[in-house]
Chains A and B, each alone.
Chain A
Amino acid sequence: MRPENYQAQSHPPSNEYELFIGPNHPGIEGNYAFKLKLHGDVVLAGKADGGYLHRGFEKLMEGRLWIQNIALVPRICVPDPVPMEVTYSMAVEDLCGLEVPERAQWLRVLQLELSRIAAHLFTFGGHAATTGMYTTSYWGIADRDLILDLFEALTGGRVYHIFNIPGGTRRDVPPGFLEQVSQTLDYLESRLPDYDNLLFTNQVFITRAKDVGAMTQEQALEWGVTGPNLRATGLAFDVRRDDPYLVYEQLEFDVPTEAAGDAWARAMVRRAELKQSFRILRQVIERLPSIGGPVRAPIPNPLAWNVPAGETYARVESSKGELAYYAVSNGGDKPYRVHVRGPSSMHAVQVLEWLAEGARLEDVAQIMFSLDACPPEVDR
C-alpha cells in the first residue's frame, strides 16, 4: 500500500546520470576535474573542468624582470620543468641576439633528456596505477628519484632547478658528475626488462590498454595533438629532429612511432623514447669533456636589463609534446607579453573530452594518464 502523501514523480531514466571526477580524486592527474554523463558505465559526454591551478602566470610575468621570470616558469609544468626554463631562455636569447656558448648547449641537452626520462618514468607509474598495477608506479617513482638525485648534484634542487638562464647555464658540471650519470643510465637500462615484465608485456595491461582512447592520425592533426601522442598515431614528427635547436643536429637518435593511436601505443612510444634518451645521453657524456669554453655568455646587469624591442617564438620538444614561448618586448626591463603554448592545453581539454566519449567509465582515468596531460600547464 502506498503512503497517503505519495505523489508520482517523473524522473530521468535512472541509468543515465552525471558523475564528477576530481578535483580531488586518485584517478585524475593533479588538481583537475572532469564531468561525465553516463549511460550505465558508458560515457555519453565528458566536460573538462579546469582552472583549479590557475595562477595567472602570463600576467605575473609581465610584472617581473626578465631574469626573475626564470624562477617562475618551471612552475608551469611541474613533472617536467627543464624544458620550461630552456625555452624561455631561448626566447630571451633570441630577442637579445645572445649567442649561447657550445658547452652550455650540451649541458642543456643533458638536462632536457634527464628530465624527459624522469617525466616518462612518472607517467608509466601513473598509467599503470590506473590499470590497477601499483608495483610499476612504486618502482617507477623510486627510479625517477635517481634522476632527481642527479639534478640535485648538478643544480642543488630536486624538482625546480632554476639552472638555465638567458645566456647559458649557471654553473658547469661538478667533478665526477658524468660518471654518476653514466652509472644511473646503466642501472635504469638494466631495469627495463623488469618494467617489460611488469607492464609492457603484461597481458593485463595489454588487454586493458589496447583499443582504449584511440584516435586516427587525421584526428590527431586536426586536434593539435603533439609529442608522443602524435607519434603513437604513426606520424614521425619530433621538433628535436625536424626543427633542431641547441645541438640536437649533431646527435643521433630515432623517432619511434606506433600505428594504433590508442593508450597502449602511447605507452609503447614513451618506452621507446626512454631508450632514445639513453642513447642521446651517452653521446653527450662522450662529447662533453672535449668541449671547452665558458658555460655562460656575458649578459648585462640583469637587474637593469632592457631587452631590445621585438617578438619571438621559441619551441622545443618536451616530454608531453611541443612546448613554445611567444615573447614580446617593448624595450623595457620586463616582458610586454609572454604566451606559453603548452601541449597539455590541447591534450587535457578537447582531446580528452572527445576520447572519453564512448569509452567506459573505468577507462577515463587511463585515457587521461595515457595522454600524459599536465594540469598546471593547462591552467597556468
Chain B
Amino acid sequence: MSDLSKIPIHTEKHAPEEARTNPLAGVFDELVRFAQSRSMYMLHYCTGCGAIELPPAMTSRFDMERLGIQPMVTPRQADILLVTGYVSVKTLKRIILTYEQMPSPKYVIGICSCTVNGGMYWQSYATAKKLSEYLPVDLYIAGCMPRPEAVIEGMRALMANIQSGETEPWKDYYQRYDYYLGNQQHLFGDNWQTPTDVIGQAQHYGLAGPETEGEHTRILQQYQQPLVAHKLRLK
C-alpha cells in the first residue's frame, strides 16, 4: 500500500478577512443565518434509551418536519448531531469519528440526563459521564427521558440561537482541540487516532488558536501510522 502519511497536508492559511464595506453585508448574513436555521438535517445517533422518543417526535404525531428538521442518514450531509442518551466508551469513539466527519457549521445536542452528568449510570464502569468533555455541546435537553415536546422545544431553541448567531461551539473544537483530545486520550489511551486532520482543518478555517496544539496533540504525532487497507477478516 502507498504510504498516505507522506502526502503533504494543505496547511496554507486563508487571507485575513478584509473589512466588509458593502452596506448590505449585515442583511445578507442575517438572511443566511435565517435560511440555515430553517433547514436542518439531523443525524440522530441512537446511543441510548432516549432514542425511543425520537420516532414519535419525527413521525405523524409531533412531526418535526414542520420546523424544517429532517433526519439524515449520513454524517457528511448532516448539520446536527443528536446524541440520545448515555454513551458507552465504545460508542463514544464512533461519535467522535462521526462528529469530525460532519461539515461545519455543526451543532451537537445532548438529549437525556445521561449526557449531562452520567445520569443513573453514574457509577457504571462502561459509560462516559460528561459529553461536553469530549465534544463541544450546543444544547442539553435534560430529562430521563425528555418527552417529544421537550425535544422539539430544544430544537426551537437551537434554531433561535443559530438565527441570532450565538451558537458557535463548533469553533471551540478547533480552538481548544488540545483539551478535547486530552480527555479523549485519557479515556481511550494514548494511541487514539482519528482519520480527520483536525489541526489542518483549524488552520484552513483560520480558527487555530494558542490552545489548538499542545502536549496532547504532540502525542498524536508520536503514534501516527500510515493508513493501510484492512484485510478481510471474516472467514
Contacts and interface: CB of A to CB of B under 8 A. Distances in A.
A52 B60 contact: no
Range class of the A interface residue count: 35 or more
Given A137-B59, A159-B53, A60 B235 contact: no
B157 to A, nearest CB: 21
A138 B88 contact: no
Contacts of B188: none
Contact of B47 (A12, A31, A79): A31
A59 B52 contact: no
A45 B75 CA distance: 27
A53 interface: yes
B144 interface: yes
Given A18-B233, A159-B53, A54 B88 contact: yes
A79 B50 CA distance: 11
Contact of B120 (A71, A142, A145): A71
Interface string A126-157: 00000000000111011011001000000000
Contact of A145 (B61, B98, B124): B61
A63 interface: yes
Interface in B64-91: 71, 73, 75, 86, 88, 90-91
Interface string A38-58: 000000111100011111100
A145 B56 contact: yes
Contacts of B196: none
Q: Say which size band chain B's interface belongs to.
A: 35 or more
A194 to B, nearest CB: 13
Nearest to A50: B90
Given A37-B234, A141-B60, A51 B52 contact: no
A55 B91 contact: no
Contact of B147 (A12, A60, A79, A158): A158
A358 interface: no
Given A24-B43, A142-B56, 16 more contacts: A31-B46, A31-B47, A31-B51, A37-B235, A44-B234, A52-B90, A53-B47, A54-B126, A55-B86, A55-B88, A59-B125, A141-B60, A142-B59, A142-B60, A158-B53, A158-B147
Interface of A: 12, 16-18, 23-26, 30-31, 35-37, 44-47, 51-56, 59-60, 63, 71-72, 75, 78-79, 122, 125, 137-139, 141-142, 144-145, 148, 158-160, 376
Interface of B: 43, 45-49, 51-53, 55-56, 59-61, 71, 73, 75, 86, 88, 90-91, 94, 98, 120-121, 123-127, 144-145, 147, 230, 232-235
